[in-house]
Structure 1
């Protein structure tokens, strides 16, 4: 089975997290996408969030860093999920996305989501409880809101 490494970045501030309705899948998701060649997961999530939402973000820590260096360290993702994907733009067969999920916070105090036809919306805890939001997105969204303070 083919496997692709991907990233997702939950962008959260002020008790809410940003999601968009995925144009092909029709489900609410955080910004994210495939990790490109010569890119690490941190570079990929910062790029994907900026490309898709227009927001520059910082990564929220999910645990302590080791003191000893070297080696250099990347922030640990909040979760690494393995998703079965029936097909997408790159493969017309079942494959998997191994998704590094990060929690992020915008670098500006009053971020504005794009109005690009992708239905970008801020979701608070009550909105995440909608049946339109998949269980994993709901759980991670709530955790991201809590992490952002």
Structure 2
């Protein structure tokens, strides 16, 4: 039987030095980008911003991909990627996530991990991410996000 799907939002936060903000997640036991389940009445972009603030103490802004806009409807920023992944916890529980991932830029705040969910938070270069214990897709996804953000600023 296939596990239930949970819709989640996450953020790849990239600073001016092309470093990415990662958290060491207690249940998963790996370094991942901040993220989590959507709260009631919350859109995915709002959830990504909230999760970064809650898990790391850093305020962020979503880098908007300029989606379709019309005055008759509210538009939610488009995610950089939507992944369907099985998240395994240290206790080998499987959580099936449909994860909407946003690229974000940091704002105010200072790093302070929320210790009940994450044990640490830290800035890493893309090269450093390659050597961390992460989900298998994470280093390539981060490299693609950094490249996309760099190309976007050259336009």
Q: TM-score range by the shorter chain?
A: 0.7 to 0.9
SS in 2 for 1:56: strand
Deviation at 1:74, TM superposition (A): 0.8
Contact 1:10-1:102 at 8 Å conserved across structures: yes
Cα deviation code 1:23-49 (max 9, x no counterpart)? 111111011110112211111111111
Instruction: Kindly report which structure 2 residues correspond to 1:119-130, keeping only aligned pairs within 5 A, or say none.
Output: 119-130=120-131
From 59, 65, 68, the equivalent of 1:56 is: 59
Q: Paired residue for 2:153?
A: none
Q: Does the 8 Å contact 2:82/2:98 carry over to 1?
A: yes
CA contact (8 A) 2:28 2:90 kept: no
TM-score (norm 1): 0.82
Is 1:33 matched up with 2:31? no
Counterparts in 2 of 1:85 and 1:15: CA distance versus 1, 3 Å: closer
Cα contact 2:57–2:113 (8 A) shared by 1: no
Offset, 1:65: 2.5
> How many residues of Structure 1 are paired with residues of Structure 2 in the alignment?
144
Please, which runs of 5 or more residues in structure 1 have no aligned partner? none
Inter-CA distance 115–95: structure 2 relative to 1 (3 Å threshold): closer
**What is the alpha-carbon distance in structure 1 between the residues aligned to residue 149 and residue 107 of structure 2?**
12
Partner in structure 2 of residue 140 of structure 1: 141
Structure 2 unaligned regions, length at least 5: 151-155
CA RMSD between the two structures: 2.5
Residue among 108, 111, 114 paired with 2:112: 114
TM-score of the pair, normalised by structure 2: 0.79
| Deviation sequence 1:53-73 (CA, Å, 0-9, x none) | 1111110133x4325332221
Q: Which has the higher contact order (CA 8 A, sep 6+)?
A: 1
